[in-house]
Amino acid sequence: MVHVCLYVPNLIGYARIVLLFVCYAVARAPASASPRAPRRPTPPPAPRFRPPHPARRLRDWKLAASCYMLSFAGDLFDGWAARKFDQTSQFGYVLDMVTDRCATTGLISILCGLYPKWIPSLLFCQMLDLGSHWYHMYSTSTERGHHKSKEALAERNVVLRMYYGSYPLFAYLCVGAEFFWIALYVLHYAPDFGVGPLRLAFVCRYGFAPAMALKSVVNLAQFGSAAENLALRDMEKQGKKRN
């Protein structure tokens, strides 16, 4: 019998975490490493030798973005693996949720250093994402199981039922919002990045930004619905105690 911690989807989750650590380490590394001064003075090289190599760059935005996108792609495969190998677990469910939220939080924290003028807006999005998902997961996991199930969402507002009930809408908002943050990171280093005539800045503005804005609306609805649900359950408990 395989231990829950060694389930295939959970192993994918561990790999996602490692990729995120590599991403953050590379993204926040010094821009370059100064060469060490030699202990003894050396004579200048002969003309036939090439000049010393320039300082090695440690901050590589391409590597950081690639690691983050690979980690994000792992979110698709862990769910498939859980169904394929019949290895669903509460441990994996929480691991997936925590990894998703920490990934976005870490990336937004890096963006705060790249876009200082946007710090208030970035922190608001960061706190809204964390708070709404935590409230929603707690309010559903303690009563009717998975936070995306129809049973858990039966009494929630229409925004959440549309969001979780329509897979195309759910996929567009989740993927689009995540790629909005990734695009902001890439555009800081490569403002003209694109493929052929299609510029990333154009796709970010008209494709990813609307998804991020709508996802923020969903997060607000999610937070409000979960908070209301928890408050009503507290009132029910108080009523039972009085009776």
Please report, for residues 171, 183, 186, 195, the alpha-carbon distance to residue 200 in angstroms, rounded to integers and kept in the order given.
Answer: 20, 7, 9, 8
Distance of CA 183 to the CA centre of its chain: 13
Residues 6+ apart with CB under 8 A from 78: 9, 10, 12, 13, 16, 92, 96
- Distance between CA atoms of residues 181 and 171, nearest Å: 16
Select from 123, 120, 148 the least CA-distant residue to 133: 148
How far apart are the C-alpha atoms of 130 and 105, rounded to whole Å?
8
Catalytic member of 75, 96, 100, 129 = 100
- What three-state secondary structure class fits 134? helix
Please answer whether residues 223 and 132 qualify as being in contact, where contact means their C-beta atoms are separated by less than 8 angstroms: yes
Nearest to 13 by CA among 83, 104, 76, 107: 76
With contact defined as beta carbons under 8 Å apart, do 242 and 211 qualify?
Answer: no
Active site residue 100: yes
Cα separation of 153 and 161, whole Å?
Answer: 6
Query: What is the rounded CA–CA span in Å between residue 174 and residue 166?
Result: 12
Task: Please tell me the chain's helix, strand, coil percentages from 3-state DSSP, rounded to the nearest 5.
Answer: 70, 0, 25
Q: Which residues are catalytic?
A: 100
